Amino acid sequence: MKRIVLLGASGSIGSQTIDVVLHHKDEFSIVAVSVGKNIEKLKMLLAKIPSIQHVCVADEQVKEVLRLEYPDKQWYSGDEGLQALAGLAEYDIFVDAVVGFRGLLPALTAIANHKVIALANKESLVAGGPLVKAALAKHQVPLYPIDSEHSAIFQCLQGNTHDSIDKLIITASGGSFRDLTREQLQDVSVEAALHHPNWNMGGRITIDSATMMNKGFEVIEAHYLFDIPYEKIDVLIHRESAIHSMVQFQDHAIIAQIGTADMRLPIQYALSYPQRLKMYNDEPFDFGKFATLHFEPASMERYPLLKLAFEVGKKGGNLGAIMNAADEEAVRLFLNKKIAFLDIETSVIKAVEGVRFIAEPTLQDIIESDAAARRFVKDMWKGAME
């Protein structure tokens, strides 16, 4: 029985993680969860999963109310609460499914606590890749990716040596606006941006998919996860999202991982590795429904944030933290209808250019760079927020 601490239980990845666990009750149990403000979802979880003993919510006052309602549970709040869950002794796997920079410190805490890491929080590696890698090496802790693209690469690499890799090929759907020109993007709505053609995801990741910032994050993640230079990472637009990523080897053989657009597969693989468990309540991939598959290179001119991510990754330092924080703030402003869609790109690019670069940042430098980038974007659009 593997005991799980799940951060981000009310989100898309968190909900699907719970589905996997409930279908494999002999394999997994959840001992702790965090949610943000979705208290109704939390109450449903507590009723359904009695093994949950530790709970973190966003708000301190809400925590105190819930403590009276559920006196048999241990309650926590805020970012300190997330780290407290990561620091618990009585669990085996840490599932980091929160969205944003707040996932980094709990991940580092769980690594120092010698827990297996199942990572869905991109920002941990984008903002703090060298710190996470150093911590994993120091504490001899395994990290298994939950992102479908990185899980695909991880699966393709099984039984192959690192030195046999020629390149990684990361696929991308192209997002909500893949058929629009740059000119047509000028006045797109929030509602249209949130309509992803292939996947059902949360707000920020859906917008990041439309700008391809998400794919840029995945390039940086792949660099750290698989120790591959950026020159050996390609991005292909693949509309059907049937092939989740590929590995080309030095003999030019290519191995691809194919499956339905169901995030439970990579979640379950990360939790059960090296086993493969039965998948329930899904439809197996049907080749008859995919008469053709399409691929095209991802244009750096069409997707300037993807180009930026390669540049940021190669330069390193604190730029990943700056880029991520600026994107978080810009996407928040767009979702709140304060700025236009293309203003997201402008915000991120200008923040990367304008916030102080630190070549070898400490954890404190990363935290301060994150805050500085957020201030930069807020100041940039101060008039729009008033």
* 271, 23 contact by CB (below 8 A): no
Q: Is 13 annotated as a binding residue?
A: yes
Domains of the chain and any CATH numbers: 2-141 (3.40.50.720), 147-260+283-311 (no CATH), 316-386 (1.10.1740.10)
Q: Is 379 annotated as a binding residue?
A: no
Q: Is 214 annotated as a binding residue?
A: yes
Q: What pLDDT is attached to residue 199?
A: 64
Q: Has residue 383 got a pLDDT over 90?
A: no
Q: Is 122 annotated as a binding residue?
A: yes
Torsion of CA 312, 316, 321, 323, to 10 degrees: -10
Q: Is 36 annotated as a binding residue?
A: yes
Please give the average per-residue pLDDT across 326-339, as a whole number. Answer: 96
Mean pLDDT taken over the chain: 95
Q: Is 311 annotated as a binding residue?
A: no
Q: For residue 293, report the phi and psi dihedrals to the nearest 5 degrees.
A: -120, 140
The structure's pTM equals 0.94
Q: Is 175 annotated as a binding residue?
A: no
Q: Is 218 annotated as a binding residue?
A: yes
What the block records as the tokens of 369 is 């760079």
Q: Has residue 336 got a pLDDT over 80?
A: yes
Please give the average per-residue pLDDT across 218-233, as a whole number. Answer: 98
Q: Has residue 385 got a pLDDT over 90?
A: no
Q: Is 147 annotated as a binding residue?
A: yes
Q: What pLDDT is attached to residue 376?
A: 98
Higher pLDDT, 274 or 383: 274
pLDDT digits (tens, 9 = 90+) for 73-97: 999 999 999 999 999 999 999 999 9
For residue 12, which of 271, 297, 240, 204 has the smallest C-alpha distance?
A: 204
Q: Is 51 annotated as a binding residue?
A: no
Q: Is 215 annotated as a binding residue?
A: yes
Q: Is 196 annotated as a binding residue?
A: yes
Q: Is 209 annotated as a binding residue?
A: yes
pLDDT digits (tens, 9 = 90+) for 42-57: 999 999 999 999 999 9
* 331, 298 contact by CB (below 8 A): no
Q: Is 121 annotated as a binding residue?
A: yes
Please give the average per-residue pLDDT across 345-357, as a whole number. Answer: 98
Q: Has residue 205 got a pLDDT over 90?
A: no
pLDDT digits (tens, 9 = 90+) for 130-182: 999 999 999 999 999 999 999 999 999 999 999 999 999 999 999 889 999 99
* 307, 300 contact by CB (below 8 A): yes
- Distance from C-alpha of 57 to C-alpha of 39, rounded to nearest angstrom: 8
pLDDT digits (tens, 9 = 90+) for 276-331: 999 998 889 999 999 899 999 999 999 999 999 999 999 999 999 999 999 999 99
Q: Is 202 annotated as a binding residue?
A: yes
Q: What pLDDT is attached to residue 239?
A: 93
Q: Has residue 346 got a pLDDT over 90?
A: yes
Q: Has residue 275 got a pLDDT over 70?
A: yes
In the DSSP assignment, the letter for residue 317 is T
Please give the average per-residue pLDDT across 238-259, as a whole number. Answer: 96
Q: Is 34 annotated as a binding residue?
A: no
Q: What pLDDT is attached to residue 386?
A: 62
Q: What pLDDT is attached to residue 283?
A: 85
* Sequential DSSP letters for 153-212: HHHHTTT--GGGEEEEEEEE---TTTTS-TGGGTT--HHHHT--SS----HHHHHHHHHT
Q: Is 64 annotated as a binding residue?
A: no
